[in-house]
Structures are given as structure tokens and as C-alpha cells.
Amino acid sequence: MIYLDNSATTRLYPEVLAAMLPYLQEEYGNPSSKYYTLAKNAQRAVEESREAVAKLIHATPEEIVFTCGSTESTNMILKGVADYRKLYEKKGNHIITSKAEHHATLNTCKYLNGELYSNHDASFSLLGSVPKVDRGFRVSFLDVNQYAQVDPSVFEKEICSDSILASFIWGNNEVGSLNNISLLGTIAKQHDVRLHIDGTQVVGKMDIDVNQLPVDFMSISAHKLHGPKGIGAAYIHGDMYGLPPITSFMHGGEQENGMRAGTLAVHNIVGFGKAAQIALQHQEERIRALKKLDASVRALLEAHCNVEVLGDPFNHIPGLFSIVVKTKSFDNERFIRRVSEKIAVSTGSACTAGMPSHVLQAMGREDDVSRVIRISLSERNTIDDVRQLLELL
């Protein structure tokens, strides 16, 4: 099968699996236990992996908190920071995001401002119509441009004296456009607004140095860079006094500095660390290969008379393409089912399967929802893979 859905998940590197296996078998110790060898080995493996993940983005190990993935990282950061700044710092209650975010951000923000009852809109709840709950936060959902990007000037105009937190996706998971994180972060800093970035789709595909970015928090998932599913990290920017205080997301034990209780999944953490190590070792080579492939595929797609490429043509995640098939009768769901034995491709985000794309709606392209195909490549794909997709189209 030709695999063109790397933004949904990537194939586990064999070296990653090999690194994980001992911690599923003979090295089964709990890293929170004390003194005996199995516990010490597990603890050492966790800290070595934390260091490897930190090095990938030029952070310090202390700034990496392990979670089960980007969705948990985003929930932990948004709820924890908002709660702490409002209740303890008495700073305000205003949060800013955009209409083109991943649902991990959108639904967390809707929860905070009382629009979301559980994981679905109240109108679809099994409990019937549920009144809006006042949780004490106000959220602004910014419009985006035709590429699904946030205009920094629009962001700055929305900031007020009660603004405490902003959250934006770095690389859009549906159309690939990159936000100007440096400028958005600079604006946030000027107004004492904490900035969270969803870095899920860009970590491992770009050279990232958090010391050069005005960013306070970032979400990361291992399975986007050939690591295992079910493990991710929250980057929390620290200073000489340590990490900024946020309300704990999961209460229980004192794991992860008390911010995220629960026994650590050592095998997954080790896999994450190995994937990060490989990504860093081959970063220049991988980025160069992806950019070269990106340019070739973009030229191929733009020359095709029956497809239109969405997203920013210059500032985008290398290897991620969202295309509109111009044939009016085309149905992307039907097409994907028909070719499912030959090729793996998607209509958009795996987290919004079966739902109309809110990103396309925010871009003003809601009429194209049923004709969009997302192609997401790794450095192991070739241009012939995309040619075969076009032939099937």
C-alpha cells in the first residue's frame, strides 16, 4: 500500500520498537519506586528520553512534561494556565484563539467559556439540551485569512486588559499553512499574554529552537515523528526560578513535578525519546529531503488541470498538501473507500472524521468540503506515490 497519511500518524521506526521492547519485558520496573535496580533502570530511561525530547527543540529536560499526546498537553496547558492566572494571579479571564485550530484547542476553549458540555456540543448531548455553563472565562475565536492563518494585527486588536492566554496552531493540520509564531509571540509578550503553540505537525519537520521563540508552552506528539502512539509532551518554558505555576491537570501522585499524576508509561516514553534522537540525528537530511519532495509534488499538483492546492504556497509544512478536486461530482469519502486497498489518504484531520471541516469553513471554502483530499508525506515517500494517486483520481 502507498501511505500518504503521515499527518494522521507515521510508521514506527524499527529502531524505536527495538528500544521499547525491553521495557515491555524484562525492564518492567516503576520509575516512581525506589532503590531497587528495576526501578532505577526505569527512572534512568525516562530521564534519558526526556533529555532526548528536550534536545530536539533545544529546551532543557526540566521543561518537558510527559503526557499521553498533544491533545492532553493542550488540555493541561489551557485549563491549567487559565485557572492559575484567573484564580491565583487575579490577572483576568480572557483567552484568544482562532477558528482554524485543532479540536483539542477549540473544544477546550469552548469548555472554558461554557459552550461545551462534554466532548460534543450540547445540542447533540444524550442528556438533551444543556444550558450554557458559566466557568468564568471569555474566549475570542479570531477569523483567519484565505490560508487559515491568523493576522497578527487582528490578534493584537483583540487583546484587552483581561487577556491572559492565547493559543494558536503553528502548522495547520488540514491545509499545512504556517502561522507567524515569532510575531504572534512578540505581540503576546508585549501585553503579558501567555502563548501556547500547537506544534504537533511541525516538530521533527523543522529546525525548532524554543530559545529563539517568544513562546511559553507547546504541545508535541511522538507518533507524528515515527514514535509510538499514546505518548506526547508539554513544553513549559522555565526560567532561573523554575517552571511557571499552573494548576495540575491530573491529581494523584507527584509524577512530572506534580503537574501530571499517574504511573509513567516507560516503554512509550523510551520510544518517544528514541524517535526524537533519530529525528535530531538526521534532521538536516530529513528536512532537505522533505523540502525537495515538497517542491516536486507542488509543481506536479499545480500543473494538473483538475486540482487546486489550498494553503499558503510559501509558508507551509513541507510535505502536507490539501487539494480540491475540481470535478463537481467528486466525492472524497467515496473515492477514499474505493481506493482503500491501494492507497492511504485522507479528507482532512483524523480527529474530525465524519464532521465538516471547520478549517475550510473558516477559510470561506465550505462548498469544497466534499472534494478535498489531504496528502501528507514523509521523507520515505516519492513523487511516484503522488503520481499514482493522481492517476486514481
Report how far residue 52's alpha carbon sits from residue 237's, in angstroms, rounded to the nearest whole number.
17
Cell of 179: 502561522
255 phi and psi, to 5 degrees?
A: -60, 150
Cell of 143: 477569523
State the catalytic residue, choosing from 68, 109, 305, 351: 351
Contact status, residue 17 vs residue 197, Cβ threshold 8 Å: no
Cell numbers of 141, please?
A: 475565536
How many helices (DSSP H) and strands (DSSP E) are in the chain? 11, 12
Cα dist. 75→78, 108, 132, 219, 244 in Å? 5, 6, 20, 10, 16
Active site annotation includes 109: no
Q: Is the Cα dihedral 150, 155, 157, 162 positive or negative?
A: positive
Q: Work out the number of other CB atoms within 10 angstroms of the CB of residue 157.
A: 10
Q: What grid cell was written down for 120?
A: 460534543
| CA separation for the pair 70, 170 (Å, rounded) | 13
Q: 233: which residues sit within 8 A by CB, 6+ positions away?
A: 53, 64, 65, 66, 67, 73, 219, 220, 222, 272
Residue 186 is given by DSSP the state H
Joined together, the cell numbers standing for residue 346 give: 485522507
Q: What is the DSSP string of 278-331?
A: HHHHTHHHHHHHHHHHHHHHHHHHHH-TTEEE-S-SSSB-TTEEEEEE--TT--
Q: Is-contact 169 175, C-beta < 8 A?
A: no
Q: Return d(Cα 217, Cα 370) in angstroms, integer.
A: 35
8 Å CB contact between 148 and 359: yes
**What is the C-alpha to C-alpha distance for residues 338 and 169, in angstroms, rounded to an integer?**
32
Which residues are known to be catalytic?
A: 351
